[in-house]
Amino acid sequence: MIPEALALSAVLFTIGAVGVLTRRNAIVIFMCVELMLNAVNLTFVALSRLYGMTGQVFVIFVMTVAAAEAAVGLAIIIAIFRHGQTVDLKNINLLKG
């Protein structure tokens, strides 16, 4: 079932990437990134059946980093919302010349 798992992982990663590119709500884009991380985790788990437990150990690390990233990213989103009362990325263009 490893080829099927890898194909599923590729499909999920693509859906996440499409979401990042098409959505404009910052929180939804963040959740799409989480979906992409999950797809990569599925690849690690599937390949760990072939190459040993290191893949599963790496999944633990990826989840830890994802948790840290979610905490910092959501704090940034809250700060942006306090600044401009919006999380729509269309309206966040302070750096535009």
Partner 1 sequence: MSAMPNFFYQFQFYLFGLIAIASAIVFVTRRSPVAAALWLVLTMFCLAALYVMLEAHFVGVIQVLVYAGAIMVVFLFVVMLLNLGQPSELSDLRGKWGRLVAGLLGLALIAQLWAVTGPEFRSSLLQPADHITTELRERGAVGAVAQPLFAEHLLAFELTSVLLLVAIVGAVVVGRRRGLR
Positions in the binding site for partner 1 (CB under 8 A): 1-2, 4-5, 8, 11-12, 15-16, 18-19, 22-23, 25, 27-28, 30-32, 34-35, 38, 41-42, 45-46, 48-50, 52-54, 56-57, 59-61, 63-72, 74-79, 81-82, 87
What span, in angstroms and rounded, lies between the C-alpha atoms of 46 and 40? 10
Radius of gyration of the chain (CA): 16
67/91 with CB nearer partner 1: 67
Tokens encoding 33: 């990134």
CB of 21 to partner 1, least distance (A): 10
What span, in angstroms and rounded, lies between the C-alpha atoms of 16 and 24? 13
